[in-house]
Amino acid sequence: MTLTERILARAAGQSTVRPGDEVWARVDLAVMHDSSGPRRIAPVLQRLGGRIWDPNRVVLAIDHFTPPATLTHVEILTMTRAWARERQLPLFFDSEGILHNLLLERGLARPGTLVVGADSHTCTAGAVGAVAVGVGATELATVLVTGEIWLRVPPTVLIRFEGTIPPYLTARDLAMAVLGSLKADFAIYRAVEYTGEAVESMSLDERAVLTNQAVEMGAKNGIVPPPEQQWPGAGVSLAPSAPEECEAVHTFHVRELAPMVAAPPRVDEVRPVAHLQGLPLDRAYIGSCVGGKAEDLRLAARVLRGRRVRIPLTVTPATQEVVRACLADGTLQALVEAGAIVQAPGCGACAGLHSGLLGPGERCVATVTRNTPGRMGHRSAEVYLASALTVAASALTGQLTDPREVL
């Protein structure tokens, strides 16, 4: 079996499963946030009896509407806090950061487990070797009551990144290279597994970029095999999938890649940044679950230290822990001295809710998850997706810039 199949077989209490099998699986962790959680699931949950199967396996984070920008935001947060308080949820995180990052940062997502969440980027948790799938709010309500979910076992597509990663590339560039080559939705209802020398050398933060972007590939889940020392207690082998067990294998040699950018309006409109070098910009943004990690802020500081940005640069750390770490090592000071505006942790402008929205016709280079029309504000605004290195380099020049030009 592939890695995903082994984990689903364990969750279903079966010795084996194969692609296409339909199983009832025991959920190890159910997760949601203020946008997808109580305000949507509370009425359904009440009709199902209102009782949560195991409060210790439920994670709720306030991350989308914080800090609240409107009275509607305030009402959502008030309702969310009251709901969590009534149920005495031990894993409730109030404005401490983005749900997906907290699951990894706090060690809540574990190797070999099944994580189900009411958000499409729940697949981020696959970075630790978990099967993590996103569902709708109604389906999550049934999971909260039963502790189980019906799943069809997906076939696995193996993505191999060979070679060592040069200092001007990041996991975001690698993920965009896949989307540019194979196009969005090439892996509809597949498990996308990442392996290879480049992946093995990545930090957990960078592995999370690959699994996060699996949903943009149409995948049911993204997964990275964890190091062997993380296997004990998993109850299942977490070894990488054998290529012959996979539906398809795609190999990328990282030394052949360049810094990438995804042009609007699609995540797979990918080309080397050099091909759009000099495109004028109005704004730059570093943040989101995939782009607001400590590693992202440090990469930006590497470019900007001792320099000054030419266009407004907004930085939204993913979690409070990212803020603390980047305060301690001087990263935030370097960004602020370069002219960046640093905001409170959370989803920020990535979901188009508040804290840095784009106006009509504005052009922004950003580390956010998607660039569909209206994603970060006005539908006529243009969002160019890139790594933190490319965003920082572009903020420095005021135009799309290959980071190799300024490093």
Residues 97 and 108: beta-carbon distance below 8 Å: no
- Identify which of 190, 213, 131, 200 has the alpha carbon closest to the alpha carbon of residue 161: 200
Residues 380 and 301: beta-carbon distance below 8 Å: no
d(C-alpha 321, C-alpha 97), whole Å: 8
pLDDT at site 325: 98
pLDDT at site 311: 98
Distance between first and last Cα of the chain: 44
In DSSP notation, 77-139 reads: HHHHHHHHHHTT-TTEEESSB-HHHHHHHTT-S-TT-EEEESSGGGGGGGGGT-EEEE--HHH
CA distances from 269 to 114, 211, 264 (A): 32, 19, 7
Exposure string (b/e) for 289-317, b if CB count within 10 Å is 16 or more?
bbbbbbbbbbbbbbbbeeeebebbbbbbb
pLDDT at site 50: 81
pLDDT by 10s per residue, the chain, length 407: 999 999 999 999 999 999 999 999 999 999 999 999 999 999 999 898 889 999 999 999 999 999 999 999 999 999 999 999 999 999 999 999 999 999 999 999 999 999 999 999 999 999 999 999 999 999 999 999 999 999 999 999 999 999 999 999 999 999 999 999 999 999 999 999 999 999 999 999 999 999 999 999 999 999 999 999 889 888 999 999 999 999 999 999 999 999 999 999 999 999 999 999 999 999 999 999 999 999 999 999 999 999 999 999 999 999 999 999 999 999 999 999 999 999 999 999 999 999 999 999 999 999 999 999 999 999 999 999 999 999 999 999 999 999 999 99
d(C-alpha 370, C-alpha 208), whole Å: 16
**Helix/strand/coil percentages in the chain, nearest 5:** 35, 20, 45
pLDDT at site 168: 97
Domains defined along the chain, listed by start: 3-253 (3.30.499.10), 261-405 (3.30.499.10)
**How wide is the angle at C-alpha 39 spanned by C-alphas 36 and 42, nearest 5°?**
105
3-state secondary structure of 235: coil
d(C-alpha 309, C-alpha 393), whole Å: 9
pTM of the model: 0.97
